[in-house]
Structure 1
């Protein structure tokens, strides 16, 4: 087998660089919105109002029980005629809604990992439950879930490849464009794999560094 990577030197690498840029933009936007929506889901799930708990729990189960690609299609074909959204926005919305279901579970687990005695101690000092959550529980829960949120970011980077099915010019779409121009399908896929690895590996190292820094700050 003779591999041909001439596209690296003939100016077509710009497609991969642009694709990687859009992959990171899509992933970052989706994670940020996923954390916001996930936090709201957690509040609803912890609510004393049963209908809120039911709706949030049902949403999480439905999202986690259906394929992401199906969710992207539902958002795009379901909302494009109503709200006139483009493919990029549809992908970001779908990834955000998908991520929020997983992030809400991470936040819930982070809150539950905080010793319940701290809430009781805060209440005994005259704090309301909301104040104790805001000042005592949530800051500790954030420390617990930050590494997991980072891992969710890594997962979203890989899952964003499904945006190519709608023609969004992210990394996989770029690989398809270059393979069409160069007729080197395997080589362009290998190059896109290198880009994904560099992004996810670098982010993984950053997450490990943050974890170590957090452990050091906890011991001081």
Structure 2
């Protein structure tokens, strides 16, 4: 049934034009205003920490999440129950609480356990004693984000793997492909098209949640803004710049991921028989 709207009217990204126009106007204001320019120069120093924490944390979370998803689909009852226990428990803990727990409980506990297990090597002079301060707060934050997001990513991988047609897996098995070959050549290429949108959402969400590492004093974008604002009392200018930089990161990533989705969808349509 006709809707009275053309495809070009419906699909044209008017919101992007509006957002881009606002972004350009804000950029001009920042460049032409000495105060905003000073805030930008100071706050932007934390952008690289934000990017580093996000990239490393998401990469580790994806690897751990894939492992948990495979365990959850295993034929072993024990592995399935371990995976389900991990997912349900970790998803029930807020990221901020997990961050505090890993930083101030998990890290000291790991240090004590490590020193206990390696005490013979330490007494022989082969290893030095590990101290809690040897584990940087940034890496404690990365580990916290890794653990917290891995539970959600595991469910994304599990849903994507289950969406693959069982007949294709059976056909690959009949052709003599090993389990690893079936997973690498048949399952993951098809599952990727399904999991990419939610996986991209999790990636963008981690960019925003990386701001939580500022509570540990990690010099990310939010922490640099907090320090500057507390010293200058320029709260409006500072947090406006912080929000602007986060929007540039998240909206830019969202657009890039949508472009990748379209390319994969088009590639899938080309592969299908006419």
TM-score relative to the length of structure 1:
0.92
How big is each residue's C-alpha offset from its partner over 1:13-56, in whole Å with a ceiling of 9 and x where there is no partner? 23221111111110111110011101111121112222221111
Q: In the comparison of the two structures, how many residue pairs are matched?
A: 215
- Write the distance in 2 (CA, Å) between the matches of 1:6 and 1:71: 40
Q: Which residue is 1:26 aligned to?
A: 53
Q: Which residue is 1:89 aligned to?
A: 139
Please tell me whether residue 72 in structure 1 is matched to residue 99 in structure 2: yes
- Listed as ranges, the gaps of 5+ residues in structure 1 are none
Q: Which residue is 2:18 aligned to?
A: none
RMSD (CA atoms): 1.6
Superposition misfits of 4+ residues, deviation over 6 angstroms: none
- Listed as ranges, the gaps of 5+ residues in structure 2 are 1-32, 112-131
CA contact (8 A) 1:80 1:86 kept: no
Q: Which moved more, 1:92-101 or 1:123-132?
A: 123-132
1:8-157 alignment to 2 at 5 Å?
8-9=36-37, 11-81=38-108, 82-83=110-111, 84=132, 85-157=135-207
CA contact (8 A) 1:76 1:91 kept: yes
CA contact (8 A) 1:7 1:182 kept: no
- Write the distance in 1 (CA, Å) between the matches of 2:155 and 2:71: 12
CA contact (8 A) 1:106 1:145 kept: yes
CA contact (8 A) 2:193 2:265 kept: no
TM-score relative to the length of structure 2:
0.74
Q: Which moved more, 1:143-152 or 1:53-62?
A: 143-152
- Write the distance in 2 (CA, Å) between the matches of 1:129 and 1:8: 57
User: Which one has a bigger Cα radius of gyration?
Assistant: 2
Q: Which residue is 1:161 aligned to?
A: 211
